[in-house]
Structure 1
């Protein structure tokens, strides 16, 4: 039996240990991997793109305006966060992060990797729920 928390930490550790790369190690893919993990799927995070524009085009082809819409579909808002919860930026639907140890995993200043940041005070936090259908 898998330990869900350990699996969430594996996704977070992969993000920290590897360079930022669209379609493999970017904030959208990390969030989609968390959703897939909890739902026992791979379909949301199995994406091929090398730029923001390609990523958005792929989402739109599936009927999504942006990854935040997937989060809203597969998650519910929460006030008290735990590891693996997802934060959506209130001003930019392309920015999101994953909660870990009371902070969030976000992109570094050079935009070439991930680091832990203080938990934002604006925006909405979501918890993945099992999706039916």
Structure 2
């Protein structure tokens, strides 16, 4: 919940408080790592370049690697947009944490009915 609260309390900012980093922090938290969310960028282009340098095309690939699809959704699950693999959200209090209308912060939205939900699984290292 501290990841969700941080996002609600702080302005939207690439490389600090954006939907991709929130999801990567959730995956790192479950796996006891910091490597996925340890990224520095100030634009979408820089973020994608960093992902590419690590062998990923987009953050959705990381979600698919570290998570399992689910039908019954609980808090902490991750939603991926069916049309854009860079658009994602985390389930919180039966809703999803998403960008507000002015795109400068986060709010809770109703859960989307289209797209796929995923649950982070403990990744086996080594």
* TM-score normalised over the length of structure 1: 0.93
**SS of equivalent to 2:17:** coil
Which portions of structure 1, spanning 4 or more consecutive aligned residues, are displaced by more than 4 angstroms? none
RMSD: 0.5
* Structure 1 residue 103: Cα displacement: 0.4
- Which of 95, 113, 116 in structure 2 is aligned with 1:124? 116
Ranges in structure 1 where 5+ consecutive residues have no aligned partner: 1-8
Corresponding residue for residue 5 of structure 2: 13
- Which of 20, 24, 28 in structure 2 is aligned with 1:32? 24
**SS of equivalent to 2:30:** helix
Alpha-carbon distance in 2 for matches of 1:66, 1:111? 21
Corresponding residue for residue 6 of structure 1: none
Q: Quick check: 1:114 aligned with 2:106?
A: yes
* TM-score normalised over the length of structure 2: 0.98
**SS of equivalent to 2:45:** helix
* Structure 1 residue 132: Cα displacement: 1.3
How many equivalent residue pairs? Answer: 125
Alpha-carbon distance in 1 for matches of 2:58, 2:85? 7
